[in-house]
Amino acid sequence: MSKLLVVGLGNFPYPLTRHSVGHLVVQSLADRVGISISADKRLDGLVGRGSVTLAENDVSLTLYLPKALMNITGRPTVNAMKSLGFQPSSMVVIHDSLSHRPGVASPKSGGSAEGHNGVRSVMAALGGSKDFHRLRIGIGRGDGNVADYVLGRLSSYEKQYWGTDGDGIDVVLRELAKIANGQPRPG
């Protein structure tokens, strides 16, 4: 059985903002597949575990939402990864992406952090390793200050699309199935 650790990046003090879309996606994923997420003080975040069927294959799925603010999320994410018995190659980090339009989920493995401080923090905590999967959730790029934009509220379309019954979670499940089934990793 394949094992995946799916990490949703975000900022708990700013729920349902563009910067916290990773949290929304993982929470919606948990609801969709029936995994209960609860606080785990030892891991400094919220954790849920369960077995699911993805593309006709059984997968042991662990979901993790670090409580640390986005820019310092690396250490708790890597500590959770190690404590839960995962290797970086079995980790999928879901985060917002200014480079993709809303409603897009773009897989990536390796490469640069593309200016994303949360991803940069995870890479630093892994000693510079980039050997993990990412699922970039498009939020577009607004006019003006980037910090103000990413802390802005998700549109009703985005909340519905990435919500429990939204089409976006179908996309996420398909991408997780590809990763779990060992399909070639995107560059």
- Can 19 be counted among the known catalytic residues? yes
Closest CA relative to residue 8, chosen from 95, 71, 114, 110? 95
Rounded alpha-carbon distances, angstroms, from residue 134 to 44, 92, 107, 123: 21, 5, 6, 12
27 touches 85 (CB < 8 A): no
Q: Which of 19, 23, 95, 116 is catalytic?
A: 19
Please state, in angstroms and rounded to a whole number, the distance separating the CA atoms of residues 187 and 184.
9
Closest CA relative to residue 163, chosen from 17, 8, 9, 24? 24
Give strand pairing partners of 4: 61
**Annotated catalytic sites, by residue?**
19
